[in-house]
Structure 1
């Protein structure tokens, strides 16, 4: 009988020291982290654990946070303080204990500007992006496959992009303080979708679904803009100055399809030096090069662009003659000194040389303005 009791006691001791003791030791496998941000916006601020974004905490009006159930050992905090500031902080967590970190001063955050395209021109449907190990999960891209991800603390990140009909694609890049870096991602269509073609999923903006189930720029002149014709499934020029373009073939002779400061591409001539030289190596100053530009245009960084005194860029010049109710409605379209004359937007002028295209400088109720020639 006594030996039986001894065996039972020994078994109980062994159980407590091994598997049965796991329940008692569980609290000592995690700890708590307390801290305070020197600057924060409670509407957006949060603190999470790098690699385990589910372990997170909000930030109160005083910038304080409490992160619970943090695994013991070295950990790294992922901190979003404001829409423009963030931080990453390393901390050692002791089991069953609370750790107080030094006050955290967030710094300028970085951003990754995603630009996702498909190799076949198929339309992106339900496209999402996730940043591994961070709270940025399953973020929706817009119809053009664009998304700004951030604020991100200084560091390197793995981004996973998914879309209907495309296998998940991973890319890696780093974002420094205050940096806004473009991250281009090309999605390769799934074989099953490739067989169905664009008739099933459609094409991205600017392309049409051809009878052969491929996404093409055109397969008829009706798919091209004014003044362009479809040649070899491509819309070709000549387009006038400031016309939107995708290549030199959509611009008139002597003009080039240039990416402009406003971010879009349009037909433009070069100035200030050798016409065949790229803008970065133009030799003459802009005030001299302006003599080479058409009326209404001036030489700006080696290219003839709409006069910056009147137009905020090519997109604004294209809004000449747009319907309006007052001068302010023209200003909103980028015509900086715009006038609303007879219900249409125009620009002020002193001579015909201030007016682009075939317009002439004429008298009106609003003073001398550019209007279409007769």
Structure 2
């Protein structure tokens, strides 16, 4: 009995010793990293561990940071320094020790401009984006399925898009220093959503839910804009310059439906020989090219667009005559020199040629402005 007791005690002591040994070794499985950024904005700056974004640190006003409990071995830091700069830094982590990295100089960051659409026109609901291995997790897309992700250090990334009724979709792309790259993602609905149709989830902007539960541009003239008719489930007609469009069939003869720098598509006319602004060495001057455009429009990068002195783009042109109480209301609508005259927004002019559509340059209490002719 005594022998058995001694063996049991010895075994227990051995187990305790082994357990204590594990506890004592635990601190040597992780280390700490200290560093400092040469440039940072404390309101946005943060440092995390690539593939373990939960291990992170804020950056103080002096650009200093501390990351704790980093597994030993080679590690890579994911650094957001400012709204426009970032960095990735590799470091050797030593167990139970603190490592001081060299001062980190952030470089211009890249951005991924996501454009997410559904293949059948269903509306996106609860759509989120995550970038693998980074702090950018579960970011919400806007109602049009758009989101700018960044700042991202130079590198390649795996992006996962999820939305209600759609299987998770993964895409990969790279973002270089200072690059703003468009990343298009198409989501395909699962079987249950296809059976329900658009009556449950709705359709994306610009489409309507037809009686057959499909998202269509139209199934009757009432779904089309002024001057357009529904033919073959799409709105067709001679849309004027700057009219919103989804294809050339909605634009007047001599114009085309194009995506503009402002991000939306509109009917535009060509004014140059190519997409580039006409060089001064050519026989035609910039003014000569602009003379090819309708009143109120100038030649910009080979296209007739609203005069930039008065309009921030086609979307701003469409805000002419919007109700206002002062000039500031008009400026907010994209009319940089806008005037609020008789409770409606307009723009200044010198001659009738400065005024778009059926407007004329007339004298008002705010000086000469464009007004609808009578």
TM-score (norm 1): 0.90
Question: 149-158 or 346-355: which moved more?
Answer: 346-355
> Would the aligned equivalents of 2:76 and 2:88 in 1 still touch at CA under 8 Å?
yes
Distance (Å, rounded) in 1 between the aligned partners of 2:285 and 2:264: 24
2:137 matched residue in structure 1: 137
Q: Please state how far the C-alpha of 1:164 moved relative to its aligned partner.
A: 0.6
Distance (Å, rounded) in 1 between the aligned partners of 2:180 and 2:101: 29
**Cα offsets for 1:154-181 (capped at 9, x unmatched):** 1111111111111111111111222221
Q: Please state how far the C-alpha of 1:115 moved relative to its aligned partner.
A: 1.2
Aligned: 1:193 with 2:193: yes
**Cα offsets for 1:303-354 (capped at 9, x unmatched):** 2222223222222222222222233332332333333222222223333222
1:36 matched residue in structure 2: 36
Alignment of 1:208-357 (within 5 A): 208-273=208-273, 279-280=275-276, 284-357=284-357
> Would the aligned equivalents of 1:327 and 1:339 in 2 still touch at CA under 8 Å?
yes
CA gap 1:298/1:66 in 2 versus in 1, 3 angstroms? closer
Computed over aligned residues only, the root mean square deviation of the Cα atoms, in angstroms, reads: 2.5
Q: Please state how far the C-alpha of 1:14 moved relative to its aligned partner.
A: 7.3
> Would the aligned equivalents of 1:272 and 1:286 in 2 still touch at CA under 8 Å?
no
Q: Please state how far the C-alpha of 1:13 moved relative to its aligned partner.
A: 9.1
> Would the aligned equivalents of 1:286 and 1:302 in 2 still touch at CA under 8 Å?
no
Distance (Å, rounded) in 1 between the aligned partners of 2:365 and 2:270: 36
CA gap 1:33/1:220 in 2 versus in 1, 3 angstroms? same
Distance (Å, rounded) in 2 between the aligned partners of 1:42 and 1:310: 38
Which secondary structure does the structure 2 equivalent of 1:25 belong to? helix
Runs of 5+ consecutive residues of structure 2 not aligned to the other structure: none
Distance (Å, rounded) in 2 between the aligned partners of 1:296 and 1:33: 60
Distance (Å, rounded) in 1 between the aligned partners of 2:242 and 2:214: 30
Distance (Å, rounded) in 1 between the aligned partners of 2:305 and 2:327: 23
1:128 matched residue in structure 2: 128
Alignment of 1:157-168 (within 5 A): 157-168=157-168
Q: Please state how far the C-alpha of 1:289 moved relative to its aligned partner.
A: 1.8
Distance (Å, rounded) in 1 between the aligned partners of 2:198 and 2:363: 53
**Cα offsets for 1:50-78 (capped at 9, x unmatched):** 11111222222322222111111111111
Distance (Å, rounded) in 2 between the aligned partners of 1:44 and 1:121: 36
> Would the aligned equivalents of 1:286 and 1:301 in 2 still touch at CA under 8 Å?
no
**Cα offsets for 1:104-155 (capped at 9, x unmatched):** 2222222111111111111111111111111111111111111121121111
> Would the aligned equivalents of 1:248 and 1:257 in 2 still touch at CA under 8 Å?
yes
Question: 297-306 or 123-132: which moved more?
Answer: 297-306
Q: State how many pairs are aligned.
A: 370
> Would the aligned equivalents of 1:15 and 1:21 in 2 still touch at CA under 8 Å?
no
Distance (Å, rounded) in 2 between the aligned partners of 1:312 and 1:202: 32
Which secondary structure does the structure 2 equivalent of 1:279 belong to? coil
Which secondary structure does the structure 2 equivalent of 1:334 belong to? coil
Alignment of 1:61-100 (within 5 A): 61-100=61-100
Runs of 5+ consecutive residues of structure 1 not aligned to the other structure: none
Question: 189-198 or 311-320: which moved more?
Answer: 311-320
Question: 5-14 or 208-217: which moved more?
Answer: 5-14
**Cα offsets for 1:241-281 (capped at 9, x unmatched):** 111111111111111112223332211111134xxxx5359
Question: 30-39 or 160-169: which moved more?
Answer: 30-39
Distance (Å, rounded) in 1 between the aligned partners of 2:45 and 2:307: 44
Q: Please state how far the C-alpha of 1:188 moved relative to its aligned partner.
A: 0.8
1:361 matched residue in structure 2: 361
Q: Please state how far the C-alpha of 1:48 moved relative to its aligned partner.
A: 1.4
Distance (Å, rounded) in 1 between the aligned partners of 2:188 and 2:289: 45
> Would the aligned equivalents of 2:277 and 2:301 in 1 still touch at CA under 8 Å?
no
Which secondary structure does the structure 2 equivalent of 1:304 belong to? strand
Which secondary structure does the structure 2 equivalent of 1:162 belong to? strand
CA gap 1:107/1:281 in 2 versus in 1, 3 angstroms? closer
CA gap 1:61/1:354 in 2 versus in 1, 3 angstroms? closer
